[in-house]
Amino acid sequence: MRMGIFVCIFVLFLASVSVNGADKEILVKKVRGNRVCSQGWECKQWSKYCCNNTISDLFQVYQFEELFAKRNTPVAHAVGFWDYQSFITAAALYEPLGFGTTGGRLMQMKEIAAFLGHVGSKTSCGYGVATGGPLAWGLCYNRELSPSQDYCDDSYKYTYPCAPGAKYYGRGALPIYWNVNYGAAGDALKVDLLNHPEYIEQNATLAFQAAIWRWMTEIKKGQPSSHDAFVGNWKPTKNDTLANRAPGFGATMNILYGEMVCGQGDIDPMNNIISHYQHYLDLMGVGREEGGPHDVLNCAEQKAFNPATASKNDS
């Protein structure tokens, strides 16, 4: 009997492109007719997404500084913690999977603004009479200051048991809560966050990585990741349509916060998140009009993917 041998033939070559006036080399190869690329440390895995601009091509240090202008003000609570390089380093783990590298330049910029819009709204301390208002104070926090509990759920004691003395209160750029979420994030990032949840408030790159993991991951069965819902990879089912759920920024709020924000009508918590997104689109030179119409931006009439206010994975 003749044994069939499968041979994968690819062609490897260098493409030289100009980015922001500087030459940049991209490794390109074709595998089974499909074009995949690698771009140094920032997008080093072979991926179709690495053939596009990387985040650092589109989003510069000065833009990060403008978005989070007050984060190192003396009254902020995480002075000196958050910085541009930590964000870019964290993003490099997920750029080969499409984070900030999906679609053309406009979609890439919009996703960066959408993700950071959530981050800014959840870490702002500029409410009340603070100079500049809430939109200027993103990344003021890196942890919950006065946790009401340890956020230990014993129902996960066989999969993600709470470590003695560990407290699973909100930490990070998109704060995560509860032992189950720390455990899942730790598995994905290959860091022992179950036994050491404090690592997230000690390392800004890890804090951003945990947030991007949450953005890119299908946390619950039957619903998309925030990334897929935003860039249009998700195709709603008939039940989604009946529940007024559709791709766009509004759906990302539904996925991340459920009925705490969505399906409650025109409420301030929802509008605050939208305002951050639109403000960041403006600061990044994209323009808030590119965020889409109101029915795409909001989730006021969307039924929650997981209608349980106390659900651990919605925190």
Pair 215, 93: CB distance under 8 Å = no
Contacts of residue 232, Cβ cutoff 8 Å, sequence gap at least 6:
247
Q: Model pTM?
A: 0.90
Q: What would the mean pLDDT of 251-269 be, rounded to a whole number?
A: 95
Q: Provide, rounded to the nearest whole percent, the portion of the chain with pLDDT above 70.
A: 88
Q: What residue type is assigned to position 278 of the chain?
A: Q
pLDDT at 126: 73
What is the C-alpha separation between 125 and 138, in angstroms, rounded? 7
Binning pLDDT at 50, 70 and 90, where does residue 175 land? very high
What percent of the chain shows pLDDT beyond 90?
Answer: 80
- pLDDT at position 161 over 90: yes
**Of residues 155, 125, 146, the one with CA closest to residue 137:** 125
Q: What are 297's two structure tokens?
A: 């931006």
User: Do residues 219 and 211 lie in contact, with contact meaning Cβ atoms separated by under 8 Å?
Assistant: no
Least confident of 9-18, 144-153, 233-242: 9-18
